[in-house]
Amino acid sequence: MKMDFSDIFLSKGVNYFSDDVPLKAILSFLKIKPDRNLNSLGKFVSEELIEVSAIVDHYSRPVLQTWNITDDRLDAIWLSPDHSRMLQKMQELGVVRSAVETGAIANHFLSGYIISDPGFYCTLTLTAQTAYALQKYADPDTTSAFLPRYLDVADPWYGATYYTEIQGGSDLGANLACASFENGKWTINSDNKYFASNAGIADGAIVTARPAGSEAGTKGLAVFFVPARNSSGQLNYNVRRLKDKLGTISVPTGEVEMHGSEAYLLGDKKYGIYYAMEILMISRIDDAISAAGIARKALWESYLYACKRIAFEKRIIDQPLLLSDFLQMEADLEASTVLSLMAADMFSRASSMKPPYGEGYDRARVYSHIAKNNASWVSDSITRYCMEIFGGKGFLKEFPIEKFHRDSIVTSIWEGTSNIQALDLLALLLKKNIHVAIMEELLAGVRNLKDESWRIKVSASIQHEFDAIKKWLSGEDREIYAKDILNALGGAISLVQLFMLSDLDSSRRFTQVASIFYYKHFTDHVGMPASLLKSDAIQWMNRD
């Protein structure tokens, strides 16, 4: 008898967009208008993508094909036909195209929440970044030669960003890749682009390299587009090997070597590090929003299981301790979702800016650091605990729940660890003082809350957090407290936004969520009323 995936995955058939009650409320609150393709994407992910991603993870991972049959170097990735079909379908639904359409990049980010398989979504994120960079910073000839290939839905190209080198990691200033300009053309040489996701799939990549004669450190870097094949049709760079990873199996991550690789300079080379970080910010927001989406799916699946699993003569969802855990996870998840969507919206609004940018772009940077750090750790915690809800079955690879956790772990590592997010944020706050404006906006929002008792409590909490932030920023040991600053800003923003959202909710569901978040993170936890952990805010779906 042929197996139905719903026999091992209870969420099959839900619509991860239209059935997600908190998501739709948050989008309305933030005034983000979703694309109509997202409804189709929500159904497609539930009914097809998650099953295919599980099969790819277990049985048909990408394979590096180094040589072709006639002994020519190939360096291409062999994907299963279903893997290719999934990528094609998501291209048809506009996941990449929305990143370069005017005012539509918020829908690219929203797609990540719905897809939330970091492997598949990484392939599309890197492609979207490549298209974004070509459209915004390439010269007209380079744009016209390559951008249409990335937007061709029938036969789309795929992209990549080759930044990281083995000796530097997140320290891009330590990069050794060098670029030379001779006879009117740029070429790049590099032995160790070490974490090159989409290597072997990408038809072209965004690459950081140091032009000959440029200064040391990050300020000497420039950004280039490097096609996988040169103007003569020959391989333009080589894929040395693929990494054997814990998760995100569906995106091949390899090591790339470049020896005289043809390249196209993007923009003005003196702004290279700014371009590189702007392009990277897309991935950071994608990490955040994908992490929130993974946690949502894991929580959804665990809730459906808890409604069916009987232990000690009743459903485990009716056990008070488990329901309490669910409600507290829900509050953290909704806070992360708000932060991630705020970062996405801010970047979307600032995406037309170029160096030296402006206040809107700086604000988007701040929120991208906060959102990525917060969502990745919340996702890690929720997906791990969801495995526990399934008991021993949660530890078995034959059921999909464990894959959510393996995939979520990387979201705190990709595009800079939590320490990198904290230190980058610290430097930005010291230079721009953006936290002062954030505090004023949050306190203004609190003054408009309808409930006087909550106005008093939330206002006091925000003032307390920002007093601590100011103290940490002014001290000699500010780097030691960089992560505390990052977490304090994330908590303060989340608290106010959740209560502002609750004022728009006639059902009082979001008031419960905001209240749980307050008692969990802004009190000693002893004061949380038990009544908050008994009622039904867990009902986030439009179906049973």
Instruction: State pLDDT tens for residues 207-217.
Output: 999 999 999 99
pLDDT tens-place string over residues 117-133: 999 999 999 999 999 99
In a domain, 508, yes or no: no
**Distance (Å, whole) CA 327 – CA 385:** 13
Confidence band (pLDDT; 50, 70, 90) for 541? Answer: low
Residue 46 has a pLDDT of 95
Are 217 and 176 contained in the same domain?
yes
Question: H/E element holding 191?
Answer: strand 185-197
In a domain, 27, yes or no: yes
Q: Which of 150, 171, 198 is the last residue of a domain?
A: 150
pLDDT tens-place string over residues 35-57: 889 999 999 999 999 999 999 99
- Cα dihedral sign for 171, 220, 411, 398? negative
* Structure-token pair, residue 521: 């993170």
Of residues 531 and 499, more confidently modeled: 499
pLDDT tens-place string over residues 21-33: 999 999 999 999 9
Q: Is the pLDDT of residue 525 over 70?
A: no
> For residue 356, is the peptide bond before it cis, meaning its omega torsion is within 30 degrees of 0?
yes
In a domain, 33, yes or no: yes
Confidence band (pLDDT; 50, 70, 90) for 380? Answer: very high
Are 132 and 186 contained in the same domain?
no
Beta-bridge mates of residue 77: 64
Averaged pLDDT, 101-112: 86
**Distance (Å, whole) CA 232 – CA 230:** 5
**Distance (Å, whole) CA 40 – CA 18:** 9
Residue 1 has a pLDDT of 82
**Distance (Å, whole) CA 247 – CA 38:** 26
Q: Which of 270, 296, 321 is the last residue of a domain?
A: 270
CATH number of the domain that residue 166 is part of: 2.40.110.20
Identify whether the C-beta of residue 331 lies closer than 8 Å to the C-beta of residue 517: yes
Q: Is the pLDDT of residue 524 over 80?
A: no
Residue 199 has a pLDDT of 96
In a domain, 172, yes or no: yes
Confidence band (pLDDT; 50, 70, 90) for 139? Answer: very high
Round the average pLDDT of the chain to a whole number and report it.
Answer: 94
pLDDT tens-place string over residues 311-366: 999 999 999 999 999 999 999 999 999 999 999 999 999 999 999 999 999 999 99
Are 165 and 143 contained in the same domain?
no
Q: Is the pLDDT of residue 476 over 60?
A: yes
In a domain, 193, yes or no: yes
The SS3 assignment for 111 reads: helix
Identify whether the C-beta of residue 221 lies closer than 8 Å to the C-beta of residue 172: yes
Residue 538 has a pLDDT of 66
Are 121 and 242 contained in the same domain?
no
Residue 505 has a pLDDT of 81
Are 131 and 198 contained in the same domain?
no
Are 21 and 133 contained in the same domain?
yes
In a domain, 403, yes or no: no
Q: Could you tell me the CA-to-CA distances from 409 to 55, 246, 412, 500, 543 in Å, in that order?
A: 20, 9, 6, 31, 29
In a domain, 479, yes or no: no
Total domain count, the chain: 2
56: containing domain:
7-150
Confidence band (pLDDT; 50, 70, 90) for 540? Answer: low
Are 24 and 117 contained in the same domain?
yes
**Distance (Å, whole) CA 369 – CA 422:** 7
Identify whether the C-beta of residue 353 lies closer than 8 Å to the C-beta of residue 380: no
Q: Could you tell me the CA-to-CA distances from 196 to 130, 145, 162, 435 in Å, in that order?
A: 14, 24, 5, 34
In a domain, 245, yes or no: yes
Q: Is the pLDDT of residue 203 over 80?
A: yes
Q: Is the pLDDT of residue 236 over 80?
A: yes
* Alpha helices, H only, 351-450: 359-389, 401-409, 418-432, 434-447
